[in-house]
Amino acid sequence: MIDLRSDTVTRPTAGMREAMAVAEVGDDVYGEDPTANALETEVAALFGHEAALFCPTGTMANQIALQLVVPPGGELLCDADAHVVTYELGAAATYGGISSRTWPAVGAAVDPDVVASMIRPDGYFAVPTRAVAVEQTHNRGGGGVIPLAALRELRRVADDAQVAVHCDGARIWHAHVADGVPLATYGMLFDTLSVCLSKGLGAPAGSLVVGSADKIERARFIRKRMGGGMRQVGILAAAGRYALANQVQRLAEDHAKAARLADAVAPFGVLAAEVRTNLVPLDLTKTPMDAHTFAAAARAEGVLVSVLGPRTARLVTHLGVDDAAINRAIDVLTRALRT
């Protein structure tokens, strides 16, 4: 099977498995896992922040970060398609007592003027806005990249209003590779980030919350409360360290493969957005075929694609699909679209 459903389906490479096998470990709840500690130090430095905290999942990293920047009863602003309000099952409200309000999603775009107009000040008449969250790259926004200029303007708006900015940077590595923006340049624009090792980077698990030393000290407490205190977690942290050292720049290959897929399906009028990174969003409204029929036809020929809605589907490239697999997928998918 050629699996184009998600970049979360990757399996550890041989080099990564070797790094995991020989990882030095200790009890991380005691703060004694040298590999986890090293990973946290490395990731904090990459983003120009003081500290970072290893978490089992991107969802937990996002939710810990949101609890850091929004107190119970406070408000988070984000776009209506953001992962934090679409796929995290109400966690911000459930665990953090956080109220969320959204602006209409337009791909990955963020309009700082729209955000500025939504911010509600402190006081007891209305729920006060405490933080704004953005997603880089944007998952439901088709892997789109928020331009640096828009993020800088958003930071200015947030500073003026004294609200925090969180970045769901599950795929921020892709933005870094696509736009050539240094990770530390992104890092400096956000109070907190969550960054993920188990998507395009290919580690089996793990995300980190990144922020100031005092925030990460609190994050450690929240992580334990949420059941995310793990023990000899260096086995997983070693995979993350390996990924950072060896599997970031290769994301450009995934972007090139996604561009090839996009070029192949574009003549059928199904491309939902410009493809910038490793996600290829498909809009099947102008074809006779719905997304389930398309996915079933592809599956029958050995290609797996994601169904995101009745007429929306998605292809994702990652280190588990080589050029030969992309050629085969193009053949299968274009045949399916032709019928």
Ligand X SMILES: Cc1ncc(COP(=O)(O)O)c(C=O)c1O
* Residues within the interface to ligand X (CB under 6 A): 8, 57-59, 62, 83, 135, 139, 168, 170, 196, 198, 207
**For every residue of 1-61, which 3-state class applies, written as one string?**
CEECCCHHHCCCCHHHHHHHHCCCCCCHHHCCCHHHHHHHHHHHHHCCCCEEEEECCHHHH
* Least separation in angstroms between CB 140 and ligand X: 8
Burial class (CB in 10 A: 0-12, 13-18, 19+), 299: middle
Which residue number, 83 or 130, has a Cβ lying nearer to ligand X?
83
Which residue number, 8 or 246, has a Cβ lying nearer to ligand X?
8
* Least separation in angstroms between CB 204 and ligand X: 11
* Least separation in angstroms between CB 138 and ligand X: 7
Which residue number, 133 or 337, has a Cβ lying nearer to ligand X?
133
Which residue number, 36 or 297, has a Cβ lying nearer to ligand X?
36
* Least separation in angstroms between CB 66 and ligand X: 12
CB 34 within 8 A of CB 40: no
Element (H, E) at 224: helix 213-225
Which residue number, 222 or 337, has a Cβ lying nearer to ligand X?
222
Which residue number, 241 or 337, has a Cβ lying nearer to ligand X?
241
* Least separation in angstroms between CB 322 and ligand X: 23
* Least separation in angstroms between CB 303 and ligand X: 20
Residues 6+ apart with CB under 8 A from 194: 55, 58, 61, 62, 64, 65, 166, 167, 168, 169, 170, 207, 208, 209, 210
Element (H, E) at 64: helix 58-69
Nearest residue to the partner ligand X, using Cβ: 58
- Cα gap 182→46, rounded to integer Å: 9
